[in-house]
Structure 1
């Protein structure tokens, strides 16, 4: 009787006849884990860039590497548009609503 093993991504049980090298229950979990690893590596590199910019006092780079709405570390280019400012659609919409509210207050 072999020991019971579990998927490294979702925690589901692996089949009894699974190879000893097998870590994930299916291709979906394997792809999810791959994306998580890639994102973690990218976040680490961006964090190093941000720390170096803060150490050097480079406000321009800090502004480029952080979302102006939520402050999350983000980076334009790569898998995103080269002129991206916000970390995603939620922050972009939130910023637009804030600008629209300011305009409405000024005109009223």
Structure 2
């Protein structure tokens, strides 16, 4: 906008998150019910135990934990610019809970 003052939050990437996320596999990430769906879509494969959906029914190759070795995630993966906000929010909450415990339970 012309003659406007704007404020934009600083966005930064977290390399540790990239390392964490790009090393996930279906067998190492069983707590996330949507990860297999993400894996199927990313690597165009289907797990034997997953039901047919409109998203995976045309995939004929069976998924494995090693699909990411044959196809690099760097082609389809990029860290959203707002991941650090989630990390900051979780850190803030954990810090608040720790202080609450110290003040109310350990005092």
Same fold, TM-score > 0.5, yes or no: no
The alignment's TM-score, normalised by the length of structure 1, stands at 0.28
Task: Tell which structure's C-alpha radius of gyration is larger.
Answer: 1
